[in-house]
A and B are shown apart, each in its own frame.
Chain A
Amino acid sequence: MTQHSEFLLEIRDLRVQFHTDTGLVKAVEGLNFTLKRGEAVGLVGETGAGKTTTALAIMQLIASPPGKITSGQIFFDGKDILTKSEEEKRHIRGKKVAMIFQDPMTSLNPVLTVQEQIAEMIRLHEQVTNKEALEKARAMLQLVGIQPERGPDYPHQFSGGMKQRVVIAIALACNPQLLIADEPTTALDVTIQAQVLELMRELKQHFNTATILITHDLGVVAELCDSVAIMYAGRILEKADARTLYGNPQHPYTQGLFHSIPDLTKNVHRLNTMPGLPPDPTALPPGCCFAPRCQYADEACSANSPDMTEVEPGHFVACFKIQEKNGRQAHG
């Protein structure tokens, strides 16, 4: 399977389920996804869409029990990481795929110094002495805009924005090929968010790391990403390069999402809202998962689940109505 080298990451038909008191939660349900080397993709969706679960599946960090990857393959660099041993997975984690978690306040260990937390990563994946690891850790701090002298400080002595910089330093310490950033700026204030986004942009140029940016904020995606994937109820509904998707969103859900955000350049009295709520993950509707809220849906939509089809070069949409429309245009 070395043919896949075009893609750094390819996910096929991934399904992740959680056993809970209220029933079987289908968090990720038939997800297909590809990522090129050096590409930055924004994975956008609302709470419960399965974004974080997807990221944890790639990291092989789904807590089991209650979670389980029930089917699918995740090819990283052409090899399926689901079939690897725990030992091999550990060598991928951190060294090849690193992750930034959402809440900087809780994602650092409160009883260890920040330089120790960075150095730990370096010691794990590189042949270095303790001294070299600490030196490199301090260099990483410098890189993310923290004075290296602050290395021996503890996390509680840093502000939220600074902590997130430390988390970024940990993630990038071993120069991974893929960085997964899960809502990296959601917990931060606007001006601090701007600082962190600026840093991430610089680091992206510096390291050319492929990135999956998980967020609910289409604005943040616009700042950092080359392409965008819209996720809903455990599936990807639309994927395209950023220019196409922002200029010409096709899926009714994507359009609804854009309409729900107050526009800073227009004055409207009321927003265009989508009716209803995302489906209950313990009882996903048959067929298209968006059909119950979709103004265009008909019986066909509730009967079968649409596959992703390419409606224009590089623009994939999972919607029968769009496919119909495009089919008509192609024939007529």
Chain B
Amino acid sequence: MGSPAVTETMVETRRLKKYFSTPKGPLHAVDDVNIFIAKGETLGLVGESGCGKSTLGRVVIRLLEATGGSVLFGDQDIVKFDKNDLRTFRKRAQMVFQDPYSSLNPRLSVEQLIAEPLRIHKVYPNERETSVRIKELMDTVGLAQRLATSFPHELDGGRRQRIGVARALALNPEFIVLDEPVSALDVCIQAQILNLLQDLKDQFQYTYLFITHDLSVVRHISNRIAVMYLGKVIELAHHLEIFENPQHPYTQALLSAIPIPKLDIVRKDRIILEGDVPSPVNPPAGCRFYGRCPSRQADCLEETPELVEIGPNHFLACCHPGAITAQKQPAQ
């Protein structure tokens, strides 16, 4: 598969910030994030709950308003879009939601659900053409035509998620944010949906931002992977590079924590992090990972590390990259 060579950029964020106000102070959900997504690639966004990955996904397509910074879509800054621009933009960027139960209006039938974006944007002049398109979309995502008049509560999670996908495709977008699209599904159904997403991309050359907490899924589906921790992207590289040559201590710990369904892989090098993820409300200066970092040093608190390129297409935000590898050497 391999990541596409130097190509056009689809989406780029510059110093993107999203703070939520809470009684205890601003919650830094997304803090100074600079990433780009190339046209036609799948960027995987991983992190644990509360790291801000879903918020980032929503700010990128302006379902949430950014607190600061910009999101460039092609050469336009979507943060500055007015109502009309935004309406046009909605046709170009879509989203598939996490929960196939709550993301579908229970009172609408399958065809009504898929027709909604077409009706909102008045894509077709009449109902006949709309219903032709609905049939076509149902075929595309693998929903049997007989389900057209069913309601969500009659369908299983996999089929519901197919509705969510069909709805996202209806307006022929270029860019789709997938927010944990398979997390609520059992492994077998999960595999079916992952294949569907892969096939759709082969067929229509979509650009995906794939948000998940599941590292095996993200490795399977992404071209490049961005790792988030407490509102910051801390490492970003080609999907195999991340797994074979992780540089950030958090990435290393995260990868070593994945339970692998094999017995012959003996994982002596598992890094067990101490404690919990701290609160993103009023985070202290310096490296966000400091409190749990196994290789932290005194100067880590002095400034917040920026995401910099440390190798070809490998970006890292750590004051002491490689420190953990250096530390481990004597032990071996």
Contact = CB atoms under 8 A, between A and B. Distances in A.
Is there a contact between chains A and B in the complex with CB atoms less than 8 Å apart? yes
A198 interface: yes
Interface in A153-198: 159, 161-162, 189-195, 197-198
Contacts of B243: 264
Contacts of B187: 46, 216, 257, 260-261
A138 B170 CA distance: 58
A267 B194 contact: no
B257 interface: yes
B190 to A, nearest CB: 7
B191 A264 contact: no
B261 A246 contact: yes
B183 to A, nearest CB: 11
Interface in A255-310: 256-265, 267-274, 277
Contact of B191 (A191, A223, A260): A260
B150 interface: no
A9 B259 CA distance: 28
Contacts of B261: 217-219, 221-222, 246, 258, 261
Given A219-B258, A246-B261, A273-B192, A192 B156 contact: no
A271 B220 contact: yes
Contacts of A257: 187-188
B229 to A, nearest CB: 10
Interface stretch (B124-132, B209-217, B303-311): B209-217
A242 interface: yes
Contacts of A47: 186
B1 to A, nearest CB: 7
Contact of A267 (B191, B240, B253, B262): B240
Residue from the set A259, A263, A273, A274 with the largest chain B CB neighbour count within 10 Å: A273
A325 interface: no
A190 B213 contact: yes
A247 interface: yes
Residue of B188, B254, B256 with most partner-chain A CB within 10 A: B188
B256 to A, nearest CB: 8
A257 B261 CA distance: 11
Nearest to A185: B259
A232 to B, nearest CB: 11
A220 interface: yes
Given A159-B276, A262-B219, A193 B259 contact: yes
Nearest to B273: A191
A4 interface: no
A260 B254 contact: no
A270 B243 CA distance: 19
Interface in B247-261: 253-254, 256-261
A219 B259 contact: yes
Interface in B44-79: 48-49
Contacts of B219: 262, 264
A257 B198 CA distance: 19
Contact of B190 (A198, A222, A243, A260): A260
Interface size bracket, B side:
35 or more
A263 B213 CA distance: 16
Contacts of A246: 261-263
Given A189-B213, A192-B276, A273-B191, A223 B259 contact: yes
A271 B191 contact: yes
Nearest to A223: B259
Contacts of B262: 222, 246, 265
Interface in A199-243: 216-223, 242-243
Nearest to B263: A246
Interface in B263-309: 263, 265, 270, 272-273, 276-277
A231 B182 CA distance: 22
B260 A222 contact: yes
Nearest to A217: B259
A261 B219 CA distance: 12
B245 interface: no
Contacts of B246: none
A189 B48 contact: yes
Nearest to B216: A262
Given A159-B276, A162-B276, A262-B216, A193 B257 contact: yes
B220 A262 contact: yes
Nearest to B274: A195
A192 B270 CA distance: 13
A270 B192 contact: no
Contact of B272 (A195, A217, A258): A195
Interface of A: 46-47, 159, 161-162, 189-195, 197-198, 216-223, 242-243, 246-247, 256-265, 267-274, 277
Given A217-B261, A271-B191, 13 more contacts: A195-B272, A218-B261, A219-B258, A257-B187, A258-B261, A259-B191, A260-B191, A261-B216, A262-B191, A263-B216, A264-B215, A271-B195, A277-B158
Interface of B: 1, 48-49, 156, 158, 186-192, 194-195, 198-199, 213, 215-217, 219-221, 240, 243, 253-254, 256-263, 265, 270, 272-273, 276-277
19 contacts: A161-B276, A190-B215, A191-B272, A198-B270, A216-B186, A216-B187, A217-B261, A221-B261, A222-B261, A223-B259, A256-B188, A257-B187, A261-B191, A262-B219, A263-B216, A264-B216, A269-B1, A270-B195, A271-B195
